[in-house]
């Protein structure tokens, strides 16, 4: 089994979010898929199987299968369009979250994703204790989005992950208005056995609806302010979010399976 590792939402190697990608003739049992994800110990390993002109795509974290992953989708499209089907400039994926489309536009890979409906929720003492700072606002969709006062607070935050696990939502996203970018964010995923996701595409399906409404903009440039960092070019259109980013190949390996 061949496996690619791609840095997604990255301008250069060792930036963005690394994802492993395996393109298979058929799916093996789920236990093996989970073991591969555990062995990789990356935030996501993507498994794709061709179905006609489309691909069925699944994503596994070390904590289990998830319903949506942006950076691993971008990474899979990058592998397909650069190594396996080089004539393609558009790839269609069938997933747990419905059909996803990735289009190559110059150096960018644009993903058509559904946005999550988010609703305001009360800021709680539990949120403050988990983050180490009291959010100004809190919103809940699939994930919890906590809005902080400044970019500096987002960058310097050191959440208590044992307390983050007890908060609502699959992921914890902390965010603030940016100085060089429209918004900056960080994403923590202890429920998926991932400490901090370096760049989270699906998290921005919660974050961008908030900032698009707050800033009254449909075009936003977002920066994930993790140690690795990564940039997402975002466009809101109705219930869809178009997330674009660059990608860089790190490795190609043969799994001894």
Summarised one tens digit per residue, pLDDT across range 182-217 is: 999 999 999 998 899 999 999 999 999 999 999 999
Domain count of the chain? 2
Q: What is the DSSP letter of 83?
A: I
For residues 129 and 192, membership in a common domain is answered with: yes
Residue ranges of alpha helices (H) inside the chain are 30-40, 70-79, 125-131, 151-156, 161-164, 201-215
For residues 132 and 227, membership in a common domain is answered with: yes
Answer yes or no: 44 catalytic.
yes
Q: Is 238 within a domain?
A: no
pTM score above 0.95: no
Cβ atoms of 14 and 228 within 8 Å: the answer is yes
Owning domain of residue 214: 119-233
Catalytic option among 44, 110, 151, 196: 44
Phi-psi region of 132 (alpha: psi -120 to 50; beta: other; left: phi over 0): left
Bridge partner residues of 100 (DSSP): 93
Alpha-carbon distance of 91 to 240, in angstroms, equals 17
pLDDT band at 114 (very low <50, low <70, confident <90, very high): confident
Which pLDDT does position 50 carry in this prediction?
Answer: 97
For residues 225 and 177, membership in a common domain is answered with: yes
DSSP helix, strand, coil percent of the chain (3-state; round to 5): 25, 45, 35
181 closest CA partner among 234, 228, 138, 227: 234
For residues 129 and 110, membership in a common domain is answered with: no
Averaged pLDDT for residues 24-41 = 97
Q: At 16, which CATH number?
A: 3.10.310.10
């Amino acid at each position: 089994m061949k496996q690619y590792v791609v840095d997604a939402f990255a301008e250069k190697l060792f930036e963005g979010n690394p994802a492993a990608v395996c393109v298979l003739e058929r799916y093996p049992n789920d236990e093996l898929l989970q073991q591969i994800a555990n062995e990789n110990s990356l935030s996501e390993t993507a498994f794709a199987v061709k179905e006609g002109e489309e691909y069925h795509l699944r994503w596994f974290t070390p904590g289990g299968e998830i319903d949506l992953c942006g950076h691993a989708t971008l990474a899979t499209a990058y592998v397909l369009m650069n190594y396996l089907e080089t004539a393609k400039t558009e790839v269609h994926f069938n997933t747990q979250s419905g059909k996803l489309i990735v289009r190559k536009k110059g150096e960018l890979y644009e993903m058509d994703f559904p946005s999550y409906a988010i609703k305001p929720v009360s800021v709680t003492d539990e949120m403050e204790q988990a983050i180490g700072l009291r959010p100004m606002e809190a919103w809940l969709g699939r994930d919890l989005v906590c809005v902080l006062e400044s970019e500096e607070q987002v960058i310097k935050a050191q959440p208590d992950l044992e307390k983050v696990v007890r908060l609502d939502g699959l992921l914890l996203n902390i965010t603030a208005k940016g100085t060089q970018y429209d918004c900056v964010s960080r994403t923590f995923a202890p429920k998926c056995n991932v400490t901090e996701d370096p760049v989270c595409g699906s998290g921005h399906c919660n974050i961008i609806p908030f900032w698009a409404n707050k800033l009254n903009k449909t075009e936003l440039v977002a920066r994930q302010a993790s140690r690795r960092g990564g940039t997402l070019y975002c466009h809101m259109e109705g219930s869809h979010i178009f997330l674009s980013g660059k990608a860089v190949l790190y490795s190609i390996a043969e799994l001894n399976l």
